[in-house]
């Protein structure tokens, strides 16, 4: 809080975020933290989004938000030039002109019980949860956040089927043009679920060895998915797959972030973006 004005500052919000989602929880290649803005700038309004797109940045400015919080980093792969007629340059230009700061929380948020993995734990009411990847060092952070892991395996409260679970997931996440995909027999029984929010085809082997009936993740490419399904002659010997559009799978974190800020900083105006950042807008066939 600013000593001069008594107003909340960007730093006040960052202290909450980085207490619940410590930056050292992020993967070494990640780019989590304050990307743009002044730490001592006053803040009254915050906008939450999955991606810092041009449309989201303009929405933040139009809303009068002094801070934009997104899940995905703006400059994950770096940039040498940011002219205003470039997409990322337009984001930077729009936000800096308006005095709007940008904070991104990525894999540090992914592995938190108050982050994306926690959002899916809550959404599916998973019981007896355990990390998808063995060896994740669990640790407590601020505001009840626990470092859990980049994925989770747990039991559903009641048995279901692949088809029914896919319909449940479709009702939980924002609608997209592509919808939710699943493999195999829609009537296949399901009780144990493995989940990795966001891109998870690198964890297919872990899912296969987890005892799960189905693996729910995003960005499943043709060859890794097919190789997974073909590892046994009997399809029932490997987990079925449910593929959720990437941004939709991680949008479940936004209500948890809103809840965290409301608890820690009452009176701060926090809203979620009106934009979907899924890149696809239509389909045929």
The pLDDT, as a whole number, for residue 198 is 96
CATH architecture of 10-106+252-272: 3-Layer(aba) Sandwich (3.40)
Report the chain's mean pLDDT, rounded to a whole number: 96
CB contact set of 117 (below 8 Å; sequence gap of 6+): 110, 111, 148, 149, 150, 151, 152, 195, 197
pLDDT digits (tens, 9 = 90+) for 37-86: 999 999 999 999 999 999 999 999 999 999 999 999 999 988 999 999 99
Question: Per the annotation, where are the binding residues for a divalent metal cation?
Answer: 71-72, 110, 246, 250
The pLDDT, as a whole number, for residue 7 is 85
Give the pLDDT mean for 212-217: 98
Residue 4, pLDDT above cutoff 80: no
Domains of the chain: which residue ranges? 10-106+252-272, 111-247
Residue 6, pLDDT above cutoff 70: no
- What percent of the chain has pLDDT above 90? 94
Q: Phi/psi of residue 141, each to 5°?
A: -125, -165
The pLDDT, as a whole number, for residue 5 is 52
The pLDDT, as a whole number, for residue 78 is 85
The pLDDT, as a whole number, for residue 185 is 97
CA–CA dist 168, 13 (Å, integer):
34
Question: Per the annotation, where are the binding residues?
Answer: 71-72, 110, 246, 250
Is residue 106 within 8 Å of 28, Cβ to Cβ?
Answer: no
- Residue in the block written with tokens 């998973």: 126
**Pairing mode, strands 45-49 and 67-70:** parallel
- What percent of the chain has pLDDT above 70? 98
Assigned superfamily of 111-247: NIF3 (NGG1p interacting factor 3)-like (3.40.1390.30)
- Adjacent-strand bridge partners of 241: 215
Asked if the domains 10-106+252-272 and 111-247 are classified in one and the same CATH topology, the answer is yes
The pLDDT, as a whole number, for residue 2 is 53
Nearest residue to 95 (alpha-carbon basis) of 34, 54, 51: 54
pLDDT digits (tens, 9 = 90+) for 85-137: 999 999 999 999 999 999 999 999 999 999 999 999 999 999 999 999 988 88
User: Is-above-0.85 flag for pTM?
Assistant: yes
Distances (CA, A) of 121 to 92, 111, 166, 201, 229: 34, 11, 16, 19, 25
């Amino acid at each position: 809080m600013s000593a001069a004005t008594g107003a909340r500052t960007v730093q006040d919000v960052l202290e909450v975020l980085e207490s619940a989602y410590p930056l050292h929880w992020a993967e070494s290649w990640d780019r989590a933290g304050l990307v743009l803005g002044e730490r001592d700038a006053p803040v009254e309004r915050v906008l939450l989004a999955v991606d810092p797109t041009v449309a989201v940045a303009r929405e933040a400015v139009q809303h009068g938000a002094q801070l934009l919080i997104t899940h995905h980093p703006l400059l994950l792969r770096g940039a040498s030039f940011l002219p205003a007629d470039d997409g990322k340059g337009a984001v930077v230009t729009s936000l800096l002109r308006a005095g709007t700061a940008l904070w991104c929380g990525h894999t540090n948020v992914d592995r938190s019980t108050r982050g994306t993995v926690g959002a899916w734990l809550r959404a599916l009411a998973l019981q007896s949860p355990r990390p998808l990847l063995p060896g994740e060092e669990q640790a407590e952070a601020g505001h009840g956040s626990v470092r859990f892991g980049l994925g989770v395996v747990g039991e559903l409260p009641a048995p279901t089927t692949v088809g029914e679970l896919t319909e449940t997931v479709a009702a939980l996440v924002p609608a997209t043009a592509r919808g939710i995909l699943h493999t195999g027999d829609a009537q296949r029984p399901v009780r144990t679920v493995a989940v990795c929010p966001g891109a998870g085809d690198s964890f297919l082997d872990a899912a296969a060895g987890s005892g799960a009936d189905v693996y729910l993740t995003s960005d499943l490419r043709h060859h890794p998915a097919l190789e997974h399904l073909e590892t046994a002659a009997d399809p029932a010997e490997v987990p079925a797959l449910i593929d959720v559009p990437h941004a939709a799978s991680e949008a479940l974190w936004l209500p948890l972030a809103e809840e965290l800020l409301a608890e820690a900083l009452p009176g701060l105006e926090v809203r979620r973006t009106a934009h979907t950042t899924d890149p696809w807008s239509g389909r045929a066939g």
